[in-house]
Structure 1
Amino acid sequence: MIQRRPDWLAGYGLLSPAIIIMAVMMVTPLLAMVALSFWTQQGFELDRSFTLANYFALVEPSSEPTYWMGIPFPLTYPVPAILLIKSLAMSLAITLAVIALAYPMAYFLAFHVRGQKALWLVLLTIPFWTSYLLRVFAWKIMLGFNGAINSGLKSLGILTEPLSFLLYNPLAVMITLIHAWVAFAVLPIFVSLDKIDRSYLEAATDLGDSRLRRFLQVTLPLSAPGTIGAALLVFIPTVGDYVTPTLVGGPSGTMIGNLIQELFLKQNNAPLGAAVSITMMVTIAAIVTLFLWLIGFRRLRSRAR
């Protein structure tokens, strides 16, 4: 009699190729980065003796000027720690702005577009047809001293002198990243909204709920998975972005990704750059885990009620 393999063993057999690829392409470089963060750079040589000096350097006072949202801080503040907090704050603001813009667009597509939804979704992807760098440069031109915004306002007689605060600051970085990520956020929110059973909305209407109450009590909670997924999709990568701050941020728009790039490529200090990277990843993972735990805890409380 032929014995059948257990279902769990067959499942692991199907997952094994993906697990092997993830281990080779993701886990191995990450472990190498962790090991590198405990070494030190001695000129062009790596000292592989175990040390925590790189992690202590993240909170040590620095002689370099530190900026928080364009405001210079005293030189005694640790640059990596300040830049990490600044990057997290900027990414949180970017995420909130992206969700605020993406949700109405997704809501319109899910509830008010009867046909040709595929066409509307294709139109949303039009920005992806061009290079990300080209879009960043386009914003640089628009926000420049003689760019499209300043030129337009001057031609309308609203301004006599160009606005100098539009470019090379955290605001320019945030505007550019919001534009770059809003289309990404629309898609998961649209999927969660489109899957909502319309009979729930009809039942809420029959029970006398207003449109606002129906949205707050039915639509918004049922679309939470897509909204949360979109928020994480935006928040996690924007923390470590370095291309946009380099091109439109200037000194005051520097983020933690710029520091990592400089440590690896310019200062030849890969161990310190690895320590900054690991600290950033652990911090993001902790924030995301806490966020998801709080959401799960609130759901458990609401069910208990």
Structure 2
Amino acid sequence: MDTAPAAKASIHAQTPPKRRALLFLVLPPALWLLCFLVLPYLGLFFQSFLGTNDLGDVVLEPSLDAWKAFFTKTLYRSTLLYTFKIALTVTSLAVLFSVPLAYFIAFKVRRGKELLYSLIIVPLWVSYIVRAYAWKIILGREGILNSFLQWAKITDAPVEAFLYSEWAIIIGLVHIYTPFVLMPVYTAFEQIPRSLVEASKDLGAGRITTFFRVVLPLSLPGVIAGGTFAFVLTLGDFLAPVLLGGTDNLMISNVVQNLFGTSNDRPLGSVVGIVLLVVVVALLETTSRAEKSFASLESGRGRGGLGAQPGSSGRSPHRPTGGAR
């Protein structure tokens, strides 16, 4: 008896309920993204091409004044470049702190590894505002740092340059966003096969050579992911510049906040927001392509042999290469 038609009928009978269940699972997040992500950005895009009246209210008339103002006034371009500089500095320092610490926890710590990792993640449980304000207390005129310097007779008066400066913003943001870099870097280190590290040492490579030729290349996807997190989050930060930088060190997010708030210039604020969005999307696309190209490069190296030192043609130095065995 042929059971194929019955089986096909059974499959077709089960398909609609499965599709309805899949639609039920996909529809809520899709609607959420549509309502709270796609539509707001579309609203910003269309609002950027509208004009304003003398009172600053948006009028439904096509206008390119907001785009002209953004590209002709140096304030917005200089603030955007300043934000990029802060974000790049914060990302670089966060990576420099995270890579050695993650390497130490992943490769050197035998006991208590989970405890150390948890202690690093604990600051994420504290409110962002509390962490930023803590640095204001530390760096302030009557803060912990100035009090210690005066107690140690290093300075006679409080140092005003600690707070409301560019470096105060950088210090606060590095402290806030370093855990976001550390987590993917540590995960990448944990996923590296220890046999590759041992093979590198067996071939005569030292610890430094092994780190830069084996460990670091294999962990680059995690480093890129963590650096991207820190860079994007720093670009959108607006609270730390206010608390730690004062009025002379505003970043692009503060400009957007002022344009939608006190300045009441929503078309220009929409332009700045769209430009920032395009920059972030371009950055994410670039890092995604970099990770894919690196993965393909590593797979090509893997097919050619792992653990070979440069110039050794993949052969062990103790293996005979001539005709004698």
TM-score (norm 1): 0.86
CA distance in structure 1 between the aligned counterparts of 2:225 and 2:278, rounded to whole angstroms: 19
CA distance in structure 1 between the aligned counterparts of 2:42 and 2:152, rounded to whole angstroms: 57
The aligned residue for residue 207 of structure 1 is 203
Q: CA RMSD in A?
A: 2.5
1:169–1:251 CA contact under 8 A, matched in 2: no
- 2:111 pairs, out of 104, 112, 115, with 115
1:99–1:231 CA contact under 8 A, matched in 2: yes
1:36 aligns with 2:39: no
- 2:29 pairs, out of 18, 22, 26, with 18
Q: 1:219 to 1:166 in 2, by over 3 A?
A: same
Structure 2 counterpart of 1:102, one-letter code: S
Structure 2 counterpart of 1:182, one-letter code: T
Q: Shift of the alpha carbon at 1:292?
A: 4.2
Q: For residues 107-146 of structure 1, what are the structure 2 equivalents within 5 Å?
A: 107-146=103-142
CA distance in structure 1 between the aligned counterparts of 2:21 and 2:62, rounded to whole angstroms: 40
Identity of aligned residues (%): 31
CA distance in structure 2 between the aligned counterparts of 1:132 and 1:153, rounded to whole angstroms: 27
Deviates most, 35-44 or 10-19 = 10-19
Cα distance per residue 1:67-96 (max 9 Å; x no partner): xxxxxxxxxxx1111100110111011000
Q: Shift of the alpha carbon at 1:288?
A: 3.7
Q: Shift of the alpha carbon at 1:143?
A: 0.9
Deviates most, 50-59 or 211-220 = 50-59
1:2 aligns with 2:3: no
The aligned residue for residue 285 of structure 2 is 289
Structure 1 counterpart of 2:243, one-letter code: L
1:232 aligns with 2:243: no
Q: 1:122 to 1:301 in 2, by over 3 A?
A: closer
CA distance in structure 1 between the aligned counterparts of 2:30 and 2:134, rounded to whole angstroms: 40
CA distance in structure 1 between the aligned counterparts of 2:198 and 2:269, rounded to whole angstroms: 55
Residue ranges of structure 2 left out of the alignment (5+ in a row)? 1-8, 305-325
Deviates most, 154-163 or 212-221 = 154-163
- 1:57 pairs, out of 58, 66, 69, with 69
SS of 2:185's equivalent? helix
CA distance in structure 2 between the aligned counterparts of 1:222 and 1:301, rounded to whole angstroms: 11
Q: How many residues align?
A: 288
1:99–1:227 CA contact under 8 A, matched in 2: yes
Residue ranges of structure 1 left out of the alignment (5+ in a row)? 62-77
Q: Shift of the alpha carbon at 1:149?
A: 1.0
> Between Structure 1 and Structure 2, whose CA radius of gyration is higher?
2
1:169 aligns with 2:165: yes
CA distance in structure 2 between the aligned counterparts of 1:108 and 1:184, rounded to whole angstroms: 17
CA distance in structure 2 between the aligned counterparts of 1:109 and 1:301, rounded to whole angstroms: 28
Q: 1:32 to 1:164 in 2, by over 3 A?
A: same
The aligned residue for residue 80 of structure 1 is 76
CA distance in structure 1 between the aligned counterparts of 2:202 and 2:29, rounded to whole angstroms: 48
1:170–1:252 CA contact under 8 A, matched in 2: no
Q: Shift of the alpha carbon at 1:47?
A: 1.3
CA distance in structure 2 between the aligned counterparts of 1:127 and 1:36, rounded to whole angstroms: 39
The aligned residue for residue 186 of structure 1 is 182
2:137–2:144 CA contact under 8 A, matched in 1: yes
Structure 1 counterpart of 2:33, one-letter code: M
Structure 2 counterpart of 1:60, one-letter code: T
- 1:149 pairs, out of 139, 145, 167, with 145
- 1:280 pairs, out of 261, 267, 276, with 276
Structure 2 counterpart of 1:260, one-letter code: V
Cα distance per residue 1:23-52 (max 9 Å; x no partner): 222112111111111112322632122222
Structure 1 counterpart of 2:149, one-letter code: L
Q: For residues 254-265 of structure 1, what are the structure 2 equivalents within 5 Å?
A: 254-265=250-261
Q: 1:11 to 1:80 in 2, by over 3 A?
A: farther
1:102 aligns with 2:102: no
The aligned residue for residue 89 of structure 1 is 85
2:221–2:291 CA contact under 8 A, matched in 1: no
Q: 1:11 to 1:110 in 2, by over 3 A?
A: farther
CA distance in structure 2 between the aligned counterparts of 1:237 and 1:130, rounded to whole angstroms: 17
1:54–1:275 CA contact under 8 A, matched in 2: yes
Q: 1:301 to 1:221 in 2, by over 3 A?
A: closer
Structure 2 counterpart of 1:217, one-letter code: R
TM-score (norm 2): 0.81
1:87–1:240 CA contact under 8 A, matched in 2: no
